[in-house]
Structure 1
């Protein structure tokens, strides 16, 4: 009987002591921390102090930071606080908090910089590369091997997006801030805080709106891309994995980590249609021709293909280790389209055929990789494996070779210039570097010191609308190179001449059935072979051709 009475009494004492500790921590927090981190811990001039941001930081490190501050930041030291007082603050900031966010708070957060403009010496906007230097909280604007400008952005982590023209760059942070750099004016425009914890951003296909997926509060926020003013605040009851725009229609697609649903957002009226699926897609990509969604779950037991037009899953394949589908890469060879993806926590990448969906190969890269990239200019898939070498996988026979970098430095994330001639590779260390290689000879051209450089972003390689263009270059090299040149006359007219003198419909008709169209084009006889292209090959080659259309003829 005594034991039954003592147990609740013990619990009451424990919870009473814990409540007292939290009350003490709350009081100390409001006195010492609230002016920078916010009364509600949502952050103001300093980052949020909430469980989502703190769960991976050991208590010992938090104690050290509060006691000693952080050099080169606005975080001061608090040597006057005892260790017990600091532990009370830590206990308090690790408890859940109710976050209220609103369109009014978004509007009040808008900060527009009044900086002078400057003209950057840009030769080709499509070769601009934005580099995230996480260690110094900076973003670089580069072309080829030159840094043209740098700007500060606190808590930058990646996920940068270009406007459709490429002349504006949008930069998100995990704590909800979105900044814009105007490349055409050579200056940082300003920033806005869309929410407290941000997953990713996208732009609608016109570039008019910024689409923001948020975890705190759970929402989709639509912002005017020019003024940053909120247009719509759409509450959600799940954790969104990511949101991506479609380039072919006024839609965006998002999925959840914790709900077996796909959301289709209309980017004109902001209505949402939800479609049920069998299990949540915690990571996904949309195929280059916007017919399918390829998704997977954190459990990593299935790779699934969802047909957007048919509203159903049409393919699944058992796998081990969650594919990192957001970093998948695409290419074309021998009449077929492929993608490759790394697997989180597994020492391999996998190769898959698209459109006649099937598993092709598992390639051992001898370590846990996180990114895989390619470009029509290179014969390789460029990946990393958590070590100090670049891992190259031949796209024809899947044989593996490595490129030495700097011993003991961790290689991560390759990206290419728009033309594919240069490969940018990060050495992901505090005393790391950005390495720039000739993508064909694999010769190191330049090494630029950098502190924890991570993502590199180029409009051709990172904007979804250019995926068919890149695949079309592969189709061109396989099917058209013998008779046509991109800009010069060869056996046949150049692509540049064709797209500036013929309609898109005529071009498609002539590719599909030249015998039926050659007279209409003024030829006495037909010299164009019938290529029997698949629907995807045709879309790819036409997309590639249309990039040579002069601006005045668009």
Structure 2
């Protein structure tokens, strides 16, 4: 394997007004007020690194305002108690040059495996209902099922989103400072960890689960690790800061964009070759639609939400916006023959709703505060979102009316996630003396209140793994179009989905749905009893994906 060594030299010049005394005083202030989030060496922990590479786009006036007043819809607090002189001393220090190095040998030396460690039986009832909870204040990750905490393990500075293996039995945990850990749910133990880089943006797994794909800012590039041994497989240098990398479930590829380059990268996860396509402006944030045909993106500086057709290799829709959408937290659903997504906006007190495929803006829904996340599930009639305050905001998916759930006065609601079956809604109160609240997603009753210190993300394989996105939508199509005759596992007026998918291949199922009159004889029926459904391309893909979930393991 080719050895790589990259020495990063940041901030080759210091502001002309800087003096050693100011740097020294600024360093003391930084260690007191900033290091717990941005790291003692400024390389980032739960907040970004503070090197000139990341600061050069900000004027001194802008940096002063951020420190003084904080950043809305983020985890950056205000330091209004600091004097003008103290803030300027901190700015002088963080613009000071810094040397950071990382290489393959350091990755190898960082590997720690606990493969011989004895675990415990977590007595899992359904892996699809497991929820991993990040408790940032205590550097813990919980493994939960239903209302119960089954285990906890230590992991610092979690950032970028946990990822489940394809089976769901292992969960990979990334940290802002480049560490990746793995917990094996089936063995009830923490498997091990590795440090891929100095500063990490996010991780993904290829669709087989063989490789961990790590997008890094220090050094700039993609690190590919073996998912079992954690050994480095490939380092792919990139010229720019990667926004995020996401796997595709439909082919052996991963997609990534840059915060500072107007291109989209497509990584072949078999040979690790990359192809690039130009776009009009950088996608600082994006998501891939549930059927992996489109990329929906925007930038913090941009004023447009755009949709890029992957197959046609061109933009097919754009729309003016105010406030950068937080597209990584976008959620989607199906209603009355149409597919929709909703997204919150940075520093704006609303959620916007959009129609997919026949792309159009639908509505701006006022939430009376700056939110950060929005989630839904087929089991709930609502979009669950936050607005920086102490209430859960519920938006009706039918008429977009708004109501709220009271929590605890003065607390900050952030991030809802659901169990795989949608029965439970897990809501964080993002405070040092915070809570994890578990609601019945239908009745909205509070079922359990668990004290937690700064609980943040919750992760479930059904709701966070890309391959299940069309399955969830397919459940909604089924309830609208198929439920009158078919049930999932029991025969009704027509055969169950389980019976069908275990006796017919996917192409035959699709052909029968599209042309029941032309297929009934080939299937051995004396007459046709199935109506012509006239499903759209997307409805068909969704409902067949849902049907295939009932295929027995031996027939997969």
TM-score range, shorter chain: 0.7 to 0.9
Offset from partner CA, 1:137-194 (integer Å, 9 cap, x none): 1000000000000000011235100000000000001000000001111000111111
Offset from partner CA, 1:344-399 (integer Å, 9 cap, x none): 11011001000000001111111111100000000111111111111111101101
Q: Which structure 1 segments of 5+ residues have no match?
A: 1-13, 30-36, 60-86
Aligned partner of 1:134 in structure 2 is 136
Question: Does the 8 Å contact 2:355/2:361 carry over to 1?
Answer: yes
Aligned partner of 2:4 in structure 1 is none
Aligned partner of 2:253 in structure 1 is 251
1:527 aligns with 2:529: yes
Q: CA deviation at 1:19?
A: 5.3
1:108 aligns with 2:109: yes
Offset from partner CA, 1:175-222 (integer Å, 9 cap, x none): 000000011110001111111111000000000001111111111111
- The separation in 2 between residues aligned to 1:151 and 1:446, in whole angstroms, is 21
Aligned partner of 1:172 in structure 2 is 174
- The separation in 1 between residues aligned to 2:337 and 2:515, in whole angstroms, is 18
Give the one of 202, 222, 225 matched to 1:223. 225
Question: Does the 8 Å contact 1:102/1:233 carry over to 2?
Answer: no
- The separation in 2 between residues aligned to 1:240 and 1:96, in whole angstroms, is 22
Distance 1:425 1:245, change over 3 A: same
Q: CA deviation at 1:326?
A: 0.3
CA root-mean-square deviation: 2.8
Q: CA deviation at 1:95?
A: 2.1
What secondary structure is seen at the aligned counterpart in 1 of 2:19?
Answer: helix
Q: CA deviation at 1:21?
A: 7.1
Give the one of 363, 366, 376 matched to 2:365. 363
Aligned partner of 2:125 in structure 1 is 123
Aligned partner of 2:19 in structure 1 is 18
Aligned partner of 1:191 in structure 2 is 193
Q: CA deviation at 1:505?
A: 1.1
Question: Does the 8 Å contact 1:433/1:447 carry over to 2?
Answer: yes
What secondary structure is seen at the aligned counterpart in 2 of 1:258?
Answer: coil
Aligned partner of 2:82 in structure 1 is none
- The separation in 2 between residues aligned to 1:539 and 1:16, in whole angstroms, is 62
Aligned partner of 2:100 in structure 1 is 99
Q: CA deviation at 1:272?
A: 0.6
Aligned partner of 2:415 in structure 1 is 413
Q: Which structure 2 segments of 5+ residues have no match?
A: 1-14, 31-37, 56-62, 69-87
Alignment of 1:127-166 (within 5 A): 127-166=129-168
- The separation in 2 between residues aligned to 1:464 and 1:405, in whole angstroms, is 31
TM-score by length of 2: 0.86
Alignment of 1:281-296 (within 5 A): 281-296=283-298
Give the one of 269, 273, 277 matched to 1:271. 273
Question: Does the 8 Å contact 2:160/2:201 carry over to 1?
Answer: no
- The separation in 2 between residues aligned to 1:209 and 1:115, in whole angstroms, is 23
Question: Does the 8 Å contact 1:372/1:413 carry over to 2?
Answer: yes
1:516 aligns with 2:524: no
Question: Does the 8 Å contact 2:284/2:299 carry over to 1?
Answer: yes
What secondary structure is seen at the aligned counterpart in 2 of 1:191?
Answer: strand
Aligned partner of 1:80 in structure 2 is none
- The separation in 2 between residues aligned to 1:277 and 1:145, in whole angstroms, is 45
- The separation in 2 between residues aligned to 1:368 and 1:353, in whole angstroms, is 23
Distance 1:444 1:22, change over 3 A: closer
Q: CA deviation at 1:427?
A: 0.6
Question: Does the 8 Å contact 1:40/1:99 carry over to 2?
Answer: no
What secondary structure is seen at the aligned counterpart in 2 of 1:101?
Answer: strand
1:396 aligns with 2:398: yes
Aligned partner of 1:538 in structure 2 is 540
Distance 1:395 1:39, change over 3 A: closer
- The separation in 2 between residues aligned to 1:261 and 1:52, in whole angstroms, is 19
Q: CA deviation at 1:421?
A: 0.7
Q: CA deviation at 1:299?
A: 1.9
Aligned partner of 1:427 in structure 2 is 429
TM-score by length of 1: 0.86
Offset from partner CA, 1:319-343 (integer Å, 9 cap, x none): 1010000000000011100000000
What secondary structure is seen at the aligned counterpart in 2 of 1:545?
Answer: helix
How many residues are treated as equivalent by the alignment?
A: 506
What secondary structure is seen at the aligned counterpart in 2 of 1:131?
Answer: strand
- The separation in 1 between residues aligned to 2:519 and 2:535, in whole angstroms, is 17
Alignment of 1:318-337 (within 5 A): 318-337=320-339
Question: Does the 8 Å contact 1:430/1:451 carry over to 2?
Answer: yes
Q: CA deviation at 1:104?
A: 1.5
Q: CA deviation at 1:117?
A: 1.7
Give the one of 451, 454, 458 matched to 1:452. 454
Q: CA deviation at 1:486?
A: 0.5
- The separation in 2 between residues aligned to 1:191 and 1:100, in whole angstroms, is 20
What secondary structure is seen at the aligned counterpart in 1 of 2:458?
Answer: strand
Offset from partner CA, 1:90-122 (integer Å, 9 cap, x none): 966752323222211111111113421211110
Distance 1:185 1:483, change over 3 A: same
What secondary structure is seen at the aligned counterpart in 2 of 1:241?
Answer: strand
Aligned partner of 1:500 in structure 2 is 502
Question: Does the 8 Å contact 2:44/2:199 carry over to 1?
Answer: no
Offset from partner CA, 1:285-334 (integer Å, 9 cap, x none): 00000000000011241000000001110100001010000000000011
Question: Does the 8 Å contact 1:169/1:180 carry over to 2?
Answer: yes
Q: Which has the larger radius of gyration?
A: 1
What secondary structure is seen at the aligned counterpart in 2 of 1:476?
Answer: helix
1:489 aligns with 2:491: yes
Question: Does the 8 Å contact 2:159/2:202 carry over to 1?
Answer: no
Question: Does the 8 Å contact 2:349/2:366 carry over to 1?
Answer: yes
Q: CA deviation at 1:519?
A: 1.2
Distance 1:297 1:491, change over 3 A: same
- The separation in 1 between residues aligned to 2:345 and 2:97, in whole angstroms, is 32
Alignment of 1:227-238 (within 5 A): 227-238=229-240
Aligned partner of 1:34 in structure 2 is none
Question: Does the 8 Å contact 1:353/1:360 carry over to 2?
Answer: yes
Question: Does the 8 Å contact 1:158/1:455 carry over to 2?
Answer: no
**Of 452-461 and 101-110, the range deviating more from structure 2:** 101-110
